[in-house]
């Protein structure tokens, strides 16, 4: 079994000074910008599935 993947960069400032947070599973702290955030894996997409394009999502544009 492999270890869980860790984020390489802060999603807010882009810095690499990240530490696991004591807030629980998937929680991280950025020491550079003093922000805390949580990551969550939602699942895999079905083969061939992609986000709908603006022309086919029922919009009026």
User: What CA–CA distances, in Å, run from 4 to 1, 25, 45, 55, 59?
Assistant: 9, 11, 19, 37, 39
Model-wide pTM > 0.75: no
Top pLDDT among 35 and 1 is at 35
pLDDT tens digits, one per residue of 25-51: 899 999 999 999 999 888 898 988 776
Distance CA 61, CA 47 (A): 28
Q: What is the pLDDT of residue 17?
A: 96
Distance CA 41, CA 57 (A): 25
Average pLDDT over residues 18-27: 92
């Amino acid at each position: 079994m492999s270890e869980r993947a860790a984020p390489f960069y802060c999603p807010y400032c882009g810095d690499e000074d990240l530490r696991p947070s004591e807030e629980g599973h998937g929680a991280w702290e950025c020491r550079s910008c003093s922000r805390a955030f949580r990551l969550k894996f939602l699942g895999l997409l079905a083969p061939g599935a992609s986000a709908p394009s603006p022309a086919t999502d029922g919009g009026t544009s």
